[in-house]
Copies of this chain bind each other. A is one copy, B any other.
């Protein structure tokens, strides 16, 4: 990138085929540079009216009669997400519960179905905390063993004691993107299953569940998919495995002929057997307009722009921030990097606070990581450029040193 000026970057925006999608989001403050879509995606412009209609017409006027359309909403949205954005077939993805509850359900189901001599779960201790907490809970409950493993050392770690590998496709802290097909093959050959957490991947990278031979996955919809704070999570179980697996929380939304209210639990054959209780319809409904935007833009175009924006961040970090001791903590190879770039340095907590004051929202992750996430659907190349320039100015002027080094709560 030889001639890297604001003007040259503005020209990229002018030629960006995704540029019109920014208008599909409700941007309350045009001056705010929001590079935190990997924590909470922006509000789609269509969502308020869509949701108001669900509230007023479906709940308010339709009342209980609206359950005829709500009852399979989780499956319809799962199909939209699965087939358009995750490379799955129809009937393999469903919206349900939280990511954590889904991790628990699918990990339990996989463990229950595995050879009882396999008593070890491999996980990556650098993954998002809830993933390791779920694993620790299962281990405590069932007298199993958990072993943290660096994914690069997986072949050696996959002994014949391993039942399950729990791994994030994109690491939340470093943005490292794993080779899904390779890990799936290694695990299969070693007789273990892999449960993927796609929370930081869905809507950001081209997840190819079927083509990579994935068997099990979960993930959230409120980051790159823009479905709203705490929006219902999803789960994926490859079709041919569904009837062989049983999740442990038996509830009426997984029951055959649910409204017959039969005496004994007898789960449906399809993906809905992994459902549990009545879903939160308002939060679930908001998933629809969000997914529709991503599906319309297409994951290929999203990923292409994301790669370029992340390269811009890396290039500017090298030029402008490296002299201040800020280094790029994400892989430089785009094939190994997800949808954000992590910067590491001694005063990143204070930097994140100074950035907020300067009208830039990134996010800090303990102990020393600043995550910069350019969501391609609503972030311009000039937004990235301007945010990096403000970061440089803060460092130049030492503005961030006015903030206490002590960390507060960050989400």
Contacts and interface: CB of A to CB of B under 8 A. Distances in A.
A114 interface: no
Interface in A70-100: 70-71, 97-100
Q: Which of A34, A71, A229, A363 has the most CB of B within 10 A?
A: A229
B410 A259 contact: yes
Interface in A156-206: none
A98 B133 contact: no
Contacts of A265: 132-133, 136-137
Interface stretch (A57-65, A236-244, A301-309): A57-65
B52 A249 contact: no
A58 B43 CA distance: 10
A325 to B, nearest CB: 23
18 contacts: A32-B63, A34-B63, A36-B63, A40-B59, A48-B55, A99-B278, A100-B277, A104-B249, A128-B261, A129-B252, A129-B262, A130-B277, A134-B250, A136-B264, A222-B278, A230-B280, A259-B410, A283-B283
Interface of A: 26, 28-29, 32, 34, 36, 39-40, 42-43, 47-48, 51-52, 55-61, 63-68, 70-71, 97-101, 104, 112, 125, 128-130, 132-134, 136-137, 141, 220, 222, 228-233, 248-255, 258-265, 276-284, 286, 361, 363, 365-366, 409-411
Given A47-B55, A229-B59, A249-B100, A286 B282 contact: yes
A344 to B, nearest CB: 16
Contacts of A259: 366, 409-411
A261 B137 contact: no
Given A130-B251, A137-B248, A229-B281, 8 more contacts: A40-B63, A48-B55, A59-B228, A68-B409, A70-B230, A97-B101, A104-B249, A125-B263
A40 B67 CA distance: 10
Given A26-B60, A133-B251, A277 B99 contact: yes
Nearest to A39: B64
A98 B28 contact: no
Q: Which of A71, A233, A260, A363 has the most CB of B within 10 A?
A: A260
A28 B56 CA distance: 8
Contacts of A282: 51, 228-231, 280, 282-283, 286
Given A282-B229, A282-B286, A56 B133 contact: no
A249 B58 CA distance: 33
A112 B140 CA distance: 11
Contacts of A56: 26, 28, 43, 48
A375 B134 CA distance: 40
A229 to B, nearest CB: 4
Nearest to A356: B65
A266 B88 CA distance: 36
B283 A280 contact: yes
B279 A363 contact: no
A64 B361 contact: yes
A56 B280 CA distance: 19
Given A40-B64, A63-B34, A276-B101, A132 B263 contact: yes
A375 to B, nearest CB: 11
